[in-house]
Amino acid sequence: MICVGSSADIEEGRSKGLEVEGAYLFAVKRDDRIFLYRNSCPHLGTPLEWEEDTFLDPDGALIQCATHGALFEIETGHCIAGPCLGQNLQKIPYLLDNGLIMVDEANLGKRNF
């Protein structure tokens, strides 16, 4: 297992980009739960953020891709609007260990696609 970040570093209702060993991920904290995804839009495989650590729409209700505006549910990564409608962000399984977000290297991959 490898540590990709600390839960305490992610504010409630906010998102944060994470990079570890060449893999690009992002996390969203909502209701004190962490949702972890690969930072790759299912539409074209581009990173999703608008600017650093900004992966959510203006209301903070949904994940929104900066390239063409696709909207995804925070809890599931399911696309509910936009060019990749019906597709999903790649969810990364993790364990919390004393507040540290731990991911199996096998689930990390070295590439962003």
Span from 53-61, 66-74, 86-94, 99-107 in contact with ligand FES (CB under 6 A) = 66-74
Of the pair 106, 113, the CB lying nearest ligand FES is at: 113
Check binding of 68 to ligand FES (CB under 6 A).
yes
- Tell me how far, at minimum, the Cβ of 101 lies from ligand FES, in Å: 24
List binders of ligand FES among 22-41 (CB under 6 A): 41
* 111 lines the binding site for ligand FES (CB under 6 A): no
- Nearest CB to ligand FES, comparing residues 31 and 51: 51
HSE, CB side, 13 Å, CA atoms: give it for residue 64.
14
**Residues of this chain that bind ligand FES (CB under 6 A):** 41, 43-44, 46, 65, 67-68, 70, 82-84
